[in-house]
Structure 1
Amino acid sequence: MWRDGVLVAEDLPHAELAEQMRAQNTLVWVDLVDPSPADLEVLARDLGLSAGSIEDAMAPHERPKVVRHPGYLFFQTYATAGVDLPVASDPQTGVAVADVVGRDGTLSLSRVSGYVLPQALVTVRLDDRFDMSEVVRRWTEDYDLVELGEGALLHGLLDTIVDGHFDTIQRLDDAIEALEDLLFEDKQTGADFARTIFGLRKDLVQLRRVVLPMREVVNGLLRHRPSGHSELDSAYDDLYDHVLRAAEWTESLRDMVTTLFETNLSLQDAHLNIVMRKLAGWAAIIAVPTAITGWFGQNVPYWGFQDSTGLWASVVLIAVLSVGLFAAFRRNGWV
């Protein structure tokens, strides 16, 4: 609980919650982690929340959204709780290919729902994978912002979630660039490379489902912002710009993964054509001695028959024609 922008309590009794929310110049934050339906029912009764919004907070497979109810706003978002990919320590060197190839889709999401009431913010998390300590740090470092009310708390929460999206997108971008470098090396790609591309595509599809709807969430908050302070206008405009950038970046990465997959197939087809061309060239070279030895092996008298000159003549013909074919194929890049 804050009063006049100053933190005054960190463990507020439930019995005092409703009373403190009505106190002047007071701001309250309630965080519920993996609550039971009974916990939410008690909270709904004390704060006047509708049964529909309580059901939305607990129901599975809900999409990011913001819904306006009489007296409060209900929002639902997803934070990227983790992605098992390395981060490039040096932007110029990038990520080592060995750290990326062979990894399956590893994106983990954590749902964060909440209720924005006058002078209060209630957050509901179904698990503790999303770390709230960064959100609290932002709130406590900017006392002036906290003085602007529940809208400032909501902005700090959403800003942290969107920054997490950017971090995940950056990791995926680094991984894709590492795979691009591997494509044009002499070493041929294999099943691990294809599995990695497929895993990255799964991550991006999952990330896209939570990043793109954030535009609607922030846009809805811009229309029905819970605080009347004009000082928050620029903050929410900047947040909306970040959401747009994250959505555009995610779309571009999906195109890059598709291009990476198609390029890999094209290079494999080109490599197969080279192999078939070389096999055809060697087959033509091998056909020369086969034809000559088959011809001279017939049981009829010929020049050099039963004489060493015939042996040497066949050897010279094999050597000259084979070397000539090899030189011609080599010059044309067929072998």
Structure 2
Amino acid sequence: MAHTRLYRNGVLDAEGFPIADVSDYVGDPSCTIWFDLCSPTPDDLAVISEELGLHALAVEDVLHDRQRPKLDVYDTHLFLAVYGERLDTETGDITSTEIDIFVTRNALVTVRENDQFDVDEVIRRWDANREMAKHGVGFLLHGLLDYVVDGHFEIIQSLDDQIEQLENHLFDNQISGRDLQQRTFAMRKNLVQFRRAVLPMREVINSLIRRDLHVVEPAMAPYYQDVYDHVMRVTEWTDSLRDLVGNIRETSLTQQSYRLNDIMKKLTSWAAIIAVPTMITGFYGQNVPYPGAEQPIGFWVSTLVIIVASSSLYLLFRKQDWL
């Protein structure tokens, strides 16, 4: 069964009908149509393009993956490219699903890159606000974008929790410096990828709110403004977390330098202490006569000098916090 819906005069009239039947309703001003395509072939897009009068450049953008999130305005329709993001809690990787959207006067067409984007949840949101369906395509587009942006919000909250755990590990020595560096690098990579998907959304939503596009009715404007506010929060949050990850990395490197300096101080201090008995025993090991040579007092004097000198150096280095 295809993902298709027909609203007539703001009331859900049919769903699950074949996409081929869209042509029967698209010319009726009282009808609002939505249908979804998942990984369509070029031939499928050609049929839809001819039926709805889609621009060739917009159809070409659908066929080429990894479009930048954007809003293109054509004479008969709008074209949007957005990304649904999903965070794998086990691996920590973020996967993106490109969603291309065609918006005409009374039709909304969604083209998903794959089936990783949960379009059923979008349908549930539409059903939860049936009284808003009278606003036509603007209502359907809002439900879709609201779900996409809410997904972004959930991911950035999860990333914030992970970064907070990294901060706690900075000083508890529960993970090695190498592991901390790897996790920090992976987190920064995720944030860079995530930022590419969410930052342009500000321009997309802001452009939709413009009155000259005639997509958002005045009654729907506050709802789109709410989506825009969420987008702004996500983008600002993403930038702050990216800076925070950079600070964690710099702090980790600074800690490693401090530990290295601390180790070098200890090694240098012990080397200085060991050098004293080495010097004294080396002096008394000469093959020439010296005061106390071949006498017990010579041994006791050298031993006493070693103990006193080494102890003095040890106490001095402890006082300087080198040991």
TM-aligned CA deviation for residue 227 of structure 1: 3.6
TM-aligned CA deviation for residue 260 of structure 1: 1.0
Query: 1:169–1:250: 8 Å Cα contact kept in structure 2?
Result: yes
Between the two structures, name the one with larger relative contact order (CA 8 Å, sep ≥ 6): 1
1:201/1:228 CA distance change after superposition, 3 Å:
closer
Query: 2:38–2:115: 8 Å Cα contact kept in structure 1?
Result: yes
Q: How many residues align?
A: 317
- Between 1:132-141 and 1:299-308, the stretch displaced more is 299-308
Give the aligned CA root-mean-square deviation in angstroms.
Answer: 1.7
Q: Is there any run of 5+ residues in structure 1 with no aligned partner, and where?
A: 87-102
- Who is 1:97 aligned against? none
1:132 aligns with 2:119: yes
1:242 aligns with 2:220: no
1:109 aligns with 2:96: yes
Give the whole-Å Cα distance in 2 for the aligned partners of 1:299 and 1:262: 57
Query: 2:208–2:216: 8 Å Cα contact kept in structure 1?
Result: no
TM-aligned CA deviation for residue 328 of structure 1: 1.3
Question: Given the alignment, which residue of 241, 259, 263 partners 2:251?
Answer: 263
Question: Given the alignment, which residue of 180, 184, 202 partners 2:167?
Answer: 180
Q: Is there any run of 5+ residues in structure 2 with no aligned partner, and where?
A: 1-5
- Who is 1:98 aligned against? none
TM-aligned CA deviation for residue 188 of structure 1: 6.8
Query: 1:83–1:106: 8 Å Cα contact kept in structure 2?
Result: yes
- Who is 1:142 aligned against? 129
**TM-score, with length taken from structure 1:** 0.90
Give the whole-Å Cα distance in 1 for the aligned partners of 2:112 and 2:18: 20
1:212/1:64 CA distance change after superposition, 3 Å:
same
User: Identity percentage over the alignment?
Assistant: 45
Give the whole-Å Cα distance in 2 for the aligned partners of 1:251 and 1:166: 13
Give the whole-Å Cα distance in 2 for the aligned partners of 1:252 and 1:107: 19
- Between 1:2-11 and 1:172-181, the stretch displaced more is 2-11
Give the whole-Å Cα distance in 2 for the aligned partners of 1:165 and 1:6: 30
Give the whole-Å Cα distance in 2 for the aligned partners of 1:14 and 1:213: 31
TM-aligned CA deviation for residue 130 of structure 1: 1.0
TM-aligned CA deviation for residue 23 of structure 1: 2.8
**TM-score, with length taken from structure 2:** 0.93
Question: Given the alignment, which residue of 171, 174, 190 partners 2:177?
Answer: 190
Give the whole-Å Cα distance in 1 for the aligned partners of 2:321 and 2:129: 68
Give the whole-Å Cα distance in 2 for the aligned partners of 1:33 and 1:15: 16
1:185/1:15 CA distance change after superposition, 3 Å:
closer
Query: 1:292–1:318: 8 Å Cα contact kept in structure 2?
Result: yes
Question: Given the alignment, which residue of 273, 288, 308 partners 2:276?
Answer: 288
Give the whole-Å Cα distance in 1 for the aligned partners of 2:249 and 2:260: 17
Give the whole-Å Cα distance in 1 for the aligned partners of 2:84 and 2:33: 22
1:272 aligns with 2:283: no
Q: Deviations along 1:131-155, whole A, 9 cap, x unmatched? A: 1122111100101122211011101
Query: 2:82–2:201: 8 Å Cα contact kept in structure 1?
Result: yes
TM-aligned CA deviation for residue 15 of structure 1: 3.1
